Structure 1
Amino acid sequence: MTALTATVPSPARQHGLAANLRNIASIAWRSLVQIKHNPMELLDLSVQPVMFLLLFTFMFGGQMSGSPQEYLQYALAGLIVQNSVFTALNTAVGLHSDVAKGVYDRFRSLPIARPVPLIGRILADMVKQVWAVALMLVLGLIIGFDLNGGIGGALASLALLLVFTLAMAWLNVLLGLVAGSEEKVMMFGFTIAMPLSFTSSAFVRTDTLPSALQFWAEKINPVTAIADSVRGLLDGTPVGHSVIVTLVWAAGLVVVFFPLAMRAYRAKLS
């Protein structure tokens, strides 16, 4: 007896800019709406930046600058940048978790372009970045920060920060795809983010550092460039070449890690 098997053709994948944008928005919304069912995620995005801002301002402000008010004026930009760098690790952790749970296998069966789920997740994480930055800036204003750069400076600093963290997202995508477990994702992520944050101008003036560390902070560490840029834009002071350096670093991160991340992504889903 011959068994007859029917083959059902896979639905054609949707192409075109409009279709891809709709699908990206749907995936991003999926990531954001999860907060409704897991309020602890929003709490995590809110508590950590608030805690760091209050601790650094009122515990270290007097020692570092003579008064919490004066140190807040310097350190708020660094705290915002540090929080953004650490928050960007959520892309790596969330991507690794979704891949391990088979979520991306289900996405692969849908008639959408392969990169759509990845771009949707990154877009959702950018929205979370906006929330955290806005929260820290509002709290900073409440406890005495002077926004001398005005609303324009705040928006410009947010835009620059999003460009930088978007570039960093491709490093985090690669990390989330190649690390063997969520614990390793966090371990490798913190190993990168922690030294970059604390060996920069985020919290201390670089001219107070030992010569070798000062050279690293001023000439090599990209966090110094983005921290100085955000600080200048918020304070309404000249940013010099730090914005250009930030954009060059962002372009370099994309050039190096975007192809590596996409190669790892295709290999993981093949």
Structure 2
Amino acid sequence: MSVAALSPRRLRWAVTDALVLTGRAVTHWTRQPVELLIGLLFPVLLVLMFGYLFGGAMAVPGGGDYREFLLPGMFGLTMAFGLEATYTAVATDTARGVTDRFRSLPMARSAVVAGRAGADLLYSAAGLAVILACGRLVGWQWRNGMAAAAAAVGLLLLLRFALIWVGIHLALVLRRPESVMVLQILVWPVGFTSNAFAAPETMPGWLAPVAQWNPLSATVAACRELFGNPGWGGDSFAAQHALALAVAWPALLIAVFLPLSVRRYRRLSR
């Protein structure tokens, strides 16, 4: 049988195996509902803190409602902060030998990492739905119609999907769940060194370009534009081409870290 004839079968095999492992993660969530609820409600806590505790001290560029300015930034941060959960799940399976058991089974090599990516994307979509509903309750709204709002949600999930592969790769490299602190040290500065809360133009000269070219900044700026919410604006290339960069950055991250994750998984010692 030719390779061309085998390829569709192998693809179906890989997709089926990935779906089975995605279902495994969903089953874990149903058996640990408290942990699931805490993860989903944490972004809501952030919205309430920033929206009500600090909102009175924030000035919206060009005027307008602060919560409409805040929420797209919170949506983007929620996508970034979920990286620790991805890392912990993969590193825990690796440390406990679960990954080695999967490697001994007749399944597609890519299924384990693809299944984890699919499960985490479902979890992220649920978290995004919760924070969107919370935003509506506190007065946020989109103003450019459903199509533009759906495009903004798509960009947020695209960023999350890209970051999932970053988390999977780092977990397969470090392999220790307790090393998640290293990841948190990276995620939080990257999350706040963006345009989510402050205009890059107000930052020190050396830091402003970092914030402008932050992938999170591109997604947040593009979402503000699509939702019709107030934003920082700016004359830089990154500010003027936020929509293009909101697609280009995640695509680049996926192109780099997806094959690296699959390769690293294949090379794990038994």
Instruction: Give the TM-score taking structure 1 as reference length.
Output: 0.86
Alignment of 1:147-158 (within 5 A): 147-158=142-153
Q: What is the CA–CA distance in structure 1 between the aligned matches of 2:262 and 2:269, rounded to whole Å?
A: 11
Contact kept? 1:15, 1:112, Cα under 8 Å: no
Secondary structure of the equivalent of 1:159? helix
- After superposition, what is the alpha-carbon deviation per residue over 1:86-140, rounded to whole angstroms, capped at 9, x for unaligned? 1132111100101111212222232211111210111000001101111111110
User: Following TM superposition, where does structure 1 have runs of at least 4 consecutive aligned residues deviating by more than 4 angstroms?
Assistant: 236-240
1:201 is the counterpart of 2:195: yes
Q: Does 1:74 align with 2:69?
A: yes
Name the counterpart of 1:231.
Answer: 224
Partner residue of 1:182? Answer: 177
Q: Is 1:171 matched up with 2:166?
A: yes
Work out the CA distance in 2 between the residues paired with 1:160 and 1:35.
25
Amino acid at match of 1:121: R
1:249 partner letter: W
Q: Which one is further off, 140-149 or 150-159?
A: 150-159
Given the alignment, which residue of 19, 22, 40 partners 1:25? 19
- Alpha-carbon distance in structure 2 between the residues aligned to 1:149 and 1:82: 22
Offset of residue 157 of structure 1: 1.4
Larger Rg: 1
Q: How far 1:253 moved relative to its partner?
A: 1.6
1:58-107 per-residue CA deviation (whole Å, 9 max, x = no partner) reads: 011110127xx822111101111111111132111100101111212222
User: Residue 240 of structure 1: CA displacement?
Assistant: 4.7
| 2:80 counterpart letter in structure 1 | V
Residue of structure 1 in register with 2:101 after alignment: 106
Q: Of 185, 188, 212, which aligns to 1:191?
A: 185
Give the residue type in structure 1 aligned to 2:243: V
Which residue in the other structure is 2:236 paired with?
A: none
Structure 1 gaps of 5+ residues are 1-13
Match of 1:267 in 2: 267
Deviation at 1:212, TM superposition (A): 2.6
Task: Report if aligned partners of 2:201, 2:208 keep a CA contact under 8 Å in 1.
Answer: yes
Residue type at the aligned position of 2:216: V
The question of whether the paired residues in 2 share the 8 Å contact of 1:170 and 1:258 is answered with: yes
Identify which of 136, 141, 144 aligns with 2:139.
144
Paired with 1:131 and 1:142, the residues of 2 have a C-alpha distance of 17
TM-score normalised to structure 2 length? 0.86
Equivalenced residues, count: 253
Amino acid at match of 2:203: L
Q: 2: CA distance between counterparts of 1:61 and 1:252?
A: 35
Q: Give the equivalent residue in structure 1 for 2:45.
A: 51
Q: Structure 2: any 5+ residue segments left out of the alignment?
A: 1-7, 234-238
Which residue of the partner structure matches residue 28 of structure 2? 34
Quick one: distance in 1 between partners of 2:23 and 2:175? 27
What residue number does 1:253 align with? 253
Taking the aligned partners of 1:125 and 1:248, their CA distance within structure 2 comes to 21
1:149 Cα deviation after fit: 2.7
